[in-house]
Chain A
Amino acid sequence: MNVVLWGVYPYLVLVVFFGGLIWRYRYDQFGWTTRSSQLYESKLLRIASPLFHFGILVVVVGHFIGLVIPESWTDAIGVSEHMYHVMALSLGAVAGIATLAGVALLIYRRRKTGPVFMATTKNDKLMYVVLVAAIVAGLATTVVSVFDPNVTNYRETVSPWFRSLWVLQPDVDAMAAASTSFHVHVVVGLALFAIWPFTRLVHAFTAPLHYLFRPYIVYRSRDDVPGTRAARPGWDPVGTRDRDR
């Protein structure tokens, strides 16, 4: 069971996640959008959406620090375990609660605003269930770790396992040793990543950071529209150079 959950399942998720993203990017550019509902309703959205998005951004950064940076590194720069956890827990709890409050408000809005509810697909509903489950499970791990002294240190269990996944040597035992709360959160979190490419969440992967660097005015020639691909090597169209412009 442990092998299936912590040795096989993560790789299945990885394949579905990256495979799905590549597939969707290549075949469904037109469907790749935020599907914003601000046109229908913006008063609640104006509070809820930034609350959720900024919250989740902090959460993402927190996960990155917690999972990717080994404990030995923070020890080396003199951050004690206690200091680390107080910081992580306080900041994490604030961000997590903001995220949860944001998503709760967003769901309330989605249910109560007629047009927004009508524009909600089954896909969205499934996504909301998994997303909320992941956030709640994540917050639960935080709460449990504060009140339950027997909880394992995730930086000695989950994080080594997470890093071992990427070198294709999954440390199943380390993950198996983690507390149940982490198990639940990881399973649900992985499920979220598995459905990610097929939901509206994909918009996160086209976050427009290049906007900071591109020129304001975009000129494009008529012939470099998508769909008229450049010829592949060996498949140049018949013709001579001087017919090109």
Chain B
Amino acid sequence: MKVMAQVAMVMNLDKCIGCHTCSVTCKQAWTNRAGVEYVWFNNVETRPGQGYPRRYEDQDKWRGGWERNRRGRISLKTGGRARRLLSIFASPVQPELSDYYEPWTYDYENLTRAPLGDDFPVARPKSLITGEDMAITWSANWDDNLGGGPSAAMLDPIVEKVRRESEDKIRFDLERTFMFYLPRICEHCLNPSCMASCPSGAIYKREEDGIVLVDQDRCRGWRQCITGCPYKKIYFNHKSGKAEKCTFCYPRVEVGIPTVCAETCVGRLRYIGVFLYDADRVTEAASVENDQDLYEAQLDLMLDPHDPDVIAAARNEGIPQDWIDGAQRSPVYALAKKYKVALPLHPEYRTMPMVWYVPPLSPIVDLLAEQGHDAEDAGTLFGAIEALRIPVEYLAELFTAGDTEVVTDVLRKLAAMRSYMRGINLGKDPDDSIPASVGMTEESMYEMYRLMAIAKYDERYVIPTAHTEQAHDLEEMGCSLDFDEGPGMYESGPVGEASGRPVPMAVETFHALKQRQESDTIAAPDPQRSGQVNLLNWDGLGAPDGLFPGKGDEG
């Protein structure tokens, strides 16, 4: 047993109101740069719907993730190593920009610059790729709230599958009975297929917290990872020619604060905590024969942080005590393994995803209320979950590779919790038969209620900080003179600031913020640091002032 720690997330879909705040704040924090205009590390999809990029779940087409071969081992769906190298010159199944969408801006200047005339000036949409006028036909959430109607929702690969399997016996009215939001970030998988597809070995999983990152210095733009990831959560920066992905906001998580998407979530539906898992058994778990056993196999990998053997093994592996403490208080462990209400997204891709979802009960409750039932009565709800086959089948395709029993169990637990707590809130005697009917005790049901409904900040986010004895590494400290305005600061190499040793990120951020707050114009070069341009922010067009040092102003 090799115990490793993994920072993971649970999203409670019942609470998602589809406001896209997480997407917007994530974009502001990470992808508001040239080259990644079309990229959303966090996006919110309306289900049923096609998702982003369009129909990414159709693995017959995109060939993402792993599959189990006849010898009982898993291999990449696009083929083995040699086959991947042979197809490196043109990845056969890489999505094009049109599968995401063509990013655009508006010609706002025309509103003020247009000459006087009879017509109101308009701000035409301009492509951010070609600069030409364009017709907007798709975006990252074009089918938001079932926009585009049944014709768009029918293209949902899961809808197609559920329809096919129900053989159209039941009238298809899924889109009228059922709609919910699915926020998605990188899954930071235990068995990531993007990493396995990367020819350069630039994608890595951090030993300390399991966050999956792309080493921007080692990525060579072979773009196999984009095909490899079944969730299509690795993106190609078309300006820098490198792959980029969700970072789980590692600079924030390292200091114990939640990711930007979680912090700004209006519905407070995200939970972040630590899992301890057995790294030795990951491949074995990902190779189980039956797709529907993958959820159980994945759950088995998650170790009980209260088990003395696990604690001893964790200490042995050098996992710090506060991480073990964090794992014991972990909300994600509680929701996924203790109460078993959080499920992984598409376990059948065999990547062991580490962002888990509590499936939504609300659509069923809403439907019952509309029909005039007492929607929070345990009996009514239980009956409805059984009767509403289509939503359950749909959820099962998303979260359990089609095993409706698991989804039904989760929904029954959520229904029981509502019903039980409603009784208490109405001043009735607690009805212990309700928790018992879903195999829970009154105490555990109340604890689950606290975690899911009260959801205090410090219970939702239990993030042990990166370690103090490692702090000097995290600060990227090399020489104490290199800091702030120290004499070693901003020493130029032979080809400007970006050459030679990288400036510590904290220092770079500090200066960039300061500059942004104080300068009058956009991206004005700092007169005190002439000859210095942050190449990461340069879009490659033209030569900004200060790209090259002036001729006679040394010193």
Contact = CB atoms under 8 A, between A and B. Distances in A.
Contacts of B205: 217-220
Given A211-B81, A217-B191, A29 B241 contact: no
Would you call the interface of chain A mostly helix, strand, loop, or mixed? loop
Interface in A53-75: 53-54
B217 A33 contact: no
B469 A243 contact: yes
A244 B468 CA distance: 12
Nearest to A226: B217
Interface stretch (B148-156, B385-393, B440-448, B472-480): B472-480
Nearest to B202: A218
B236 interface: yes
A166 interface: no
Given A50-B89, A208-B200, A214-B201, A245 B94 contact: no
Contacts of B130: 114-115, 118
Looking at A37, A46, A228, the one whose CB has the most chain B CB atoms below 10 A away is A228
Looking at A37, A54, A208, the one whose CB has the most chain B CB atoms below 10 A away is A208
A30 B81 contact: no
A35 B466 CA distance: 35
Given A228-B478, A245-B470, A219 B221 contact: no
Nearest to A121: B540
A214 B215 CA distance: 16
B136 interface: no
Contacts of A221: 206-208
A210 B81 CA distance: 10
A55 to B, nearest CB: 11
A46 B540 CA distance: 26
Nearest to B472: A237
A227 B94 contact: no
Contact of B238 (A39, A45, A228): A39
A243 to B, nearest CB: 6
B308 interface: no
B254 to A, nearest CB: 8
Contacts of A222: 206-209, 466, 470, 473-474
Looking at A34, A222, A225, A237, the one whose CB has the most chain B CB atoms below 10 A away is A222
Interface in B477-500: 478, 493-495, 498-500
A49 interface: yes
Given A211-B199, A220-B205, 4 more contacts: A27-B499, A115-B129, A218-B198, A222-B207
Contact of B241 (A34, A216, A229): A34
Interface residues of B, number: 66
Interface residues of A, number: 52
A47 B92 CA distance: 10
Interface string B204-222: 1111110000011111111
Interface of B: 81-82, 84-85, 88-92, 94, 96-97, 129-132, 191-192, 195-196, 198-201, 203-209, 215-223, 236, 238-242, 282, 318, 466, 469-470, 472-474, 476, 478, 493-495, 498-502, 535, 540
A218 B201 contact: yes
Interface in A193-245: 203, 206, 208-212, 214, 216-223, 225-229, 237, 243, 245
A227 B476 contact: yes
A86 interface: no
Contact of B199 (A41, A49, A50, A208): A208
Interface of A: 27-30, 32-42, 45-47, 49-50, 52-54, 114-115, 118-119, 121, 203, 206, 208-212, 214, 216-223, 225-229, 237, 243, 245
Given A220-B204, A221-B206, A243-B469, A39 B220 contact: no
B527 to A, nearest CB: 26
B196 A30 contact: no
B221 A203 contact: yes
Contacts of B469: 243, 245
A46 B92 contact: yes
Contacts of A203: 220-221
Nearest to A44: B90
28 contacts: A27-B493, A30-B217, A33-B240, A34-B220, A36-B222, A36-B223, A38-B96, A38-B223, A39-B238, A41-B96, A42-B94, A42-B96, A50-B89, A114-B130, A118-B130, A208-B85, A208-B201, A211-B84, A211-B201, A218-B195, A218-B201, A219-B207, A222-B208, A226-B217, A227-B502, A228-B476, A245-B469, A245-B470
Given A27-B495, A119-B238, A210 B201 contact: yes
A33 B499 contact: no
A227 B221 CA distance: 21
Looking at A35, A45, A211, A214, the one whose CB has the most chain B CB atoms below 10 A away is A211
A222 B465 CA distance: 13
Contacts of B199: 208, 211
Contacts of B82: 212
A228 B199 CA distance: 24
Contacts of A114: 129-130, 132
Given A40-B238, A50-B90, A115-B130, A216 B195 contact: yes
B81 A228 contact: no
Contacts of A118: 129-131
A220 B96 contact: no
A46 to B, nearest CB: 4
Contacts of B540: 121
A223 B240 contact: no
A28 to B, nearest CB: 8
Contacts of A35: 221, 241
A229 B97 CA distance: 38
Contacts of A223: 470, 473-474
Contacts of B195: 216-218
B500 A36 contact: no
Contacts of A225: 215, 476
Contacts of B207: 219-222
A45 B473 contact: no
B156 to A, nearest CB: 24
A237 B475 CA distance: 15
Contacts of B206: 219-222
A119 B129 CA distance: 9
B96 A39 contact: yes
Contacts of B215: 225-226
Given A29-B218, A211-B84, A217 B89 contact: no
Contact of A32 (B191, B208, B220): B220
A46 B90 contact: yes
